[in-house]
A and B are shown apart, each in its own frame.
Chain A
Amino acid sequence: MKFVIYTILYSLLFIQFAWAEKIQVKGIVKEMGSRRLMKETKIFFLPEKVVAVTNEFGEFSVTLDDQKKWDVIVNLAGYKKFKESLEIKEGRVFNIYLEKIEYNLFETTIVAKSDKRDPTKKSLTYTDFYSTPGAGGDPVKAVSNLPGINRSTQGARVVIQGGTPDDTQYGVNQQYVPIVFHFGGITSVIMPEAIESVDYLSAGYGPEYGKAIGGIINLNTRSPRTDRYYGIGFLDIFNGGLLVEGPVSEKGSFLLSARRSWVGEVLKKIAEEEDGFDFTVAPSYTDATFVYEYNKSKAKKYSVTGLYSLDELKFVLDMPLGNDPSTRGDFKNETGFHRVIGRFDHELSKNKKYFTSLAVGGDQIFFKINDQFLDVDSTNYTLRSEYQMKKTSWTHYFGLDWSYEDYNVGINLPFFDSDNGGIRNPFSLGESRAGRREGNWYELGFYSRHNYQLNNEGNWVFTPAMRLDYYSATEEGESLVDKLLWQPRFSMKYLLSDYEFFRLSSGIYNQLPEEREVNSLAGNPYLKPLIARHLNIGYENDLRKGSTDGLKVYTGLFYKDLNDLVNSSSRLVERAGTFTTENFSNESSGEIYGGEIYLQYKNDQWALNTSYTIARSNRVDQYGVKQLSQFDQTHNFNVIGSYQYERWTFSTRFRFVTGNPRTPVNGAIYDADNDVYVPVRGDFFSERNKDFLQLDLRIDRKFIFRDWILSAYLDIQNVTNRSNSEGLNYNYDYSESKVTSGIPVLPTFGLKGEF
């Protein structure tokens, strides 16, 4: 009997197991918030210890017994452990969301090895620049924390190593663009979320670039996501914007971003409510960026980038500014540009590749005050191509950099004297000069770079290079050969190890005078290009030796010798048998020298970046008088620290910069024809503003939801509300003055949603 009972029980048990069916279970593993698909991720099903692994699309498939509940566990480095009891049913698709331990990464990094052929190049990635305190998430503002970048008092422009703002050239995807900032330097012309990195090239930069004796700032748009559609929306007190991206085919993907400012409305409101706040201008801007990429194969990639930027200002001045009768009435300013940049990258073989990039677009400037105006409309074509070839010890680069511009310029303005010691003459002083001209000019550039490293492992790396430029805009030089500008450049490295080296870069650089200076309408078409000779030596040591934590050291000394700089000239010169005013000549020169150091330290939660630059920038005017440059800043010290705790990031920036030089005003002379006072200047730049000190704070917080992320930040510039001097403001006859202060404490709050 006992046997029968056991047999029945055993049979029942057996039958139960025999009836436990196998079922196919499918699922997807995603990152919480970003919904990024997690590939090669192991999912454990307990208690049977069944393991599934996701494919490249984050999908997994596993066969399980049809029992009611399984403990599902995913334990992945950098993510919180996922453990849930799940009911398994036939046909059910599981979505497993993994939560990152840290969503806010903060690190200001000089990108090391990737395409860093130029030893003077420093780059900030999105992660680097987005959380920089005081920069409001802006890439170009964040660059100002790097060594060698002056603190800019002209918000919309970047000054490199004691040069002038005109000595810096701006580019997007290596194609020239006229501006990099919206009006007043509020933000750069591309939405930060559409930017992968910003490059900064300083003294001794390579032959790929030219036409700038100071340096280069280049923004690189990023590749659109290919895994799914993705969106970002943000708003803060200055502007709001949207970004969408995603795949359009198996090999193609797109990104579209657009922004519109409302800072003008905010400022108007402040001006209405704040007594004594004379902010009469209400700027607004719009920009849009479009990127399409098509990866035909691993070796061939096509991309199209579209850029649009427009800054507008309109207001009516009821009273003349500074009692200058010309500066009243209708004021209008529009500055815009658009570009379509097509690019083709082709890797011909392991050792040969090339790219070609064609940009087509236009620049528009319209500036009007009453009946005085400047109206510039141009169509631009720029072509950049490069062929790269590797041999055992050599890597050769050959490239061309060509541009053509059709312009239509109309002016009705007085002459602007820029050699004024930073003290502007009244607008009414000069008689307006009117005219309109159409025409074209072009610039040709060729370059070659040749890297030599013995068997790619020697201690020495030598890079001789040459750049050749031709400007059709200047009449200087009798023949084509006379006008060719040969610019040899050379760099070398001595490698102490993979992470430690000494470097040297030098070369000759040139730059076309500003358009207004060299045009035949109101300038001097016989001006020569500006010439600079650079020398940059340094030592770098990455003590992290491949890891992410630790210290990195960058040091450098630079010297720049500047010649044929442009100055105003009232001299009469003979042109076509008659005498006329020369307007401008190439009789000024200068020299800049200094040193810089950059230390980066990072561990799990802390990051500390310190940069210090000491420099002297001198100019010699057309009369042989030596003076400081307007942009001389002896000391420039920046410290950025950040601490990350779970979804919080706290960061701070401290800046100390020597006060900018300024020119004293020793009185004024009354212009009885125009009812204005002309300042009598003392020795140019013989005084200084008080030293600049500023402390900024930033707090970032991320809120992670299953399918989206909400980011909030509070960025407080000048948290101590220190009154920094940016110059002097004078009364109508220059007999009284008052310090013009920089920004007061300025909190900015922003929200960003990522979908």
Chain B
Amino acid sequence: MRLFLSVCLFFLVSCGDDNFKKYAALSEFRVLGILADNPEVSDTNETVSLTPVVSDIANEGRTVTMKVESCVDPGIATGEEVNCEGEALYQLITEENIDLNALLGASYYTGAINSIDITVPENILANRSPIEQFNGIDYLVIFNFSVGGEELVRTFRRIKVSTKPEKNSNPTISSSSDISLSANEQALSLVAGESPQEFSFLDLTGEQKTSKEVYYLSWFTSSGEIENSQVYVDEETKITLDSNLPNEAVVVVFLRDGRGGSDFLVKKLP
């Protein structure tokens, strides 16, 4: 009870600040998401391809170093640090330079960069409890982006490893609202290519239950403001570009299913 009184108190006193930089504003180097071709796999030595989506508008293209490490999730949700060093089944996947200008210059320095392949070690579910085996454990992949040895961004994503017969698959974006390089308020909306998946899981007592994914969207823009930048897939939001219109702008939307599955769309204006 006491914990939840604290949680409620958090909601009671939570407040934002209009002067903080906006979540939806794209400018400095930022990772917007990491796509996995298979968000959920078995522990049978499967390979997953991961593709980061980044934006670095303010720096107009530069070379960054990407270091990728992986390990079994040390327990981030239970308070452990996001750090793979010394953790079980550690792998240094790659450390490479990426020329953002060459890769993204044509799309306003925003978009997908090099994919990397990760082989999930086999038998990592061995000796785990039946609930953990069925629901899965996380194989963690940490990306560290730096320039000249100075860290720009650290980010991570999980690859779910489970014995579940039906694995999670990525949602897809079917279409989105048309927007133009205009100072007028414009609607932002998106249609997913399919309905959210139903999936099964074992609850804490070991009983099998089903649930349904909830799709939600994250909108970003290089110009102006987005009214509500994080919305459900069936919710419309609004964008107003800067009144002093730039020559070009970019709007990005990420679709996530809440279980590691995602898709994205970059709209370059005009």
Interface bits B61-93 vs A (CB < 8 Å: 1, else 0) = 000000000000011111111100000000000
Is A686 on the interface with B (CB-CB < 8 A)? no
For chain A residues 692-737, which have a beta carbon within 8 Å of chain B? Answer: 729, 731-732, 735-736
Query: A420 on the interface (CB 8 Å rule)?
Result: yes
Asked whether A322 and B230 contact (CB < 8 A) given A568-B79, A672-B157, the answer is no
**Chain A residue total in the interface (Cβ 8 A):** 86
Expressed in whole angstroms, the Cα–Cα distance for A485 and B253 within the complex equals: 58
Tell whether B236 is near chain A: CB-to-CB under 8 Å.
no
For the complex, is B154 an interface residue (Cβ under 8 Å from A)?
A: yes
- Residue contact A154 to B6, C-beta cutoff 8 Å: yes
Q: How far is A281 from B13 in the complex, measured between Cα atoms in Å?
A: 9
Query: Is there a chain A Cβ closer than 8 Å to B177's Cβ?
Result: no
Tell me which residues across on chain A come within 8 A of B129, comparing CB atoms: 575, 578-580
Q: Which residues of A contact B23 (CB under 8 A)?
A: 323, 732
Query: In the complex, what distance in Å separates the CA atom of A185 from the CA atom of B230?
Result: 32
In contact, A323 and B230 (Cβ under 8 angstroms)? yes
On whether the beta carbons of A154 and B153 are closer than 8 Å, the reply is no
Enumerate A386-429 residues with CB–CB distance to B below 8 Å.
411, 414-420, 424-425, 429
Bound-state CA distance A328–B15 (Å) is 14
How many residues in B have their beta carbons less than 8 Å from beta carbons of A? 67
Residue contact A675 to B204, C-beta cutoff 8 Å: no
CB pair B205 A436 closer than 8 Å: yes
Chain B residue with minimal CB distance to A364? B1
Is A633 engaged at the interface, CB distance under 8 Å to the other chain? no
- Complex interface residues of chain A between 607 and 630 (CB less than 8 A to chain B): none
How far does the alpha carbon of A320 sit from the alpha carbon of B229 in the complex, in Å? 9
The reply to whether B17 and A731 contact each other, CB–CB distance below 8 Å, is yes
A156 touches B10 (CB 8 A): no
CB-CB under 8 A from A435, the residues of chain B are: 203-205, 207
Whether A515 lies near B1 (C-beta < 8 A) is yes
Which residue of the partner chain, among A178, A411, A434, contacts B1 with CB atoms under 8 Å? A178
Within 8 A of A (CB), among B5-37: 5-21, 23, 31, 33-34
Q: Determine if A429 and B76 form an interchain contact, defined as CB atoms under 8 angstroms apart.
A: yes
Which chain B residues lie closer than 8 Å to A738 at the CB level?
A: 17, 19-20
B-facing residues in A739-754 (Cβ within 8 Å)? 740
**Which residues of chain A in 91-131 are interfacial with respect to chain B, using CB atoms and an 8 Å cutoff?**
none
Q: Point out the residue from A416, A431, A581, A670 that lies within 8 Å of B153, measured CB to CB.
A: A670
**Do the beta carbons of B77 and A430 come within 8 Å of each other?**
yes
Given A417-B78, A434-B209, A671-B156 contact (CB < 8 Å): yes
A284 to chain B, nearest CB (A): 13
> A184–B9 contact, CB under 8 A?
yes
Taking the closest CB of chain B, its distance from the CB of A724, in whole angstroms, is 14
Q: Are A669 and B218 touching (Cβ within 8 A)?
A: no
Within the assembled complex, what's the spacing in Å between the Cα atoms of A129 and B76? Answer: 46
A675 and B132 form a contact (CB under 8 A): no
- Assess the B77–A578 pair: CB atoms within 8 A: no
Tell me which of A411, A568, A675 has the highest count of chain B C-beta atoms within 10 A of its own C-beta.
A675
Say yes or no for A569: interface residue by CB 8 A criterion.
Answer: yes
Interface string of B185-211 (1 = CB under 8 A from A): 000000000000000010111010101
Assess whether B204 is in contact with A331, with CB atoms less than 8 Å apart. Answer: no
B238 at the interface (CB under 8 A from A): no
Q: Contact check, A579 vs B127: say whether CB atoms are below 8 A apart.
A: yes
Residues of A within 8 A of B205 (CB): 435-437, 521
**CB contact between A579 and one of B12, B31, B128, B214 (< 8 Å): that residue:** B128
> How close is A83's CB to chain B, nearest CB, in angstroms?
58
Per the bound structure, the CA–CA distance linking A333 and B8 in Å amounts to: 8
Question: Judging by beta carbons under 8 Å apart, are A736 and B78 in contact?
Answer: no
Given contacts A166-B2, A279-B15, A333-B4, 15 further A-B contacts (CB under 8 A): A156-B5, A157-B5, A280-B14, A429-B76, A430-B78, A431-B77, A431-B135, A434-B203, A514-B2, A580-B128, A675-B218, A680-B81, A729-B16, A738-B19, A740-B15
Chain B residues in the interface with A (C-beta under 8 A): 1-21, 23, 31, 33-34, 52, 74-82, 127-132, 135, 142, 153-158, 201, 203-205, 207, 209, 211, 214, 216, 218, 228-230, 254, 256, 258, 260, 262
20 sample A-B contacts, Cβ–Cβ < 8 Å, listed by A number: A154-B5, A279-B12, A320-B230, A325-B216, A325-B230, A331-B11, A367-B7, A418-B3, A420-B79, A436-B205, A571-B75, A578-B127, A580-B129, A580-B131, A667-B154, A669-B155, A672-B31, A672-B52, A673-B260, A732-B20
State the 7 A-B residue pairs at the shortest beta-carbon distance, nearest first: A570-B75, A435-B204, A430-B77, A417-B79, A278-B15, A731-B20, A670-B155
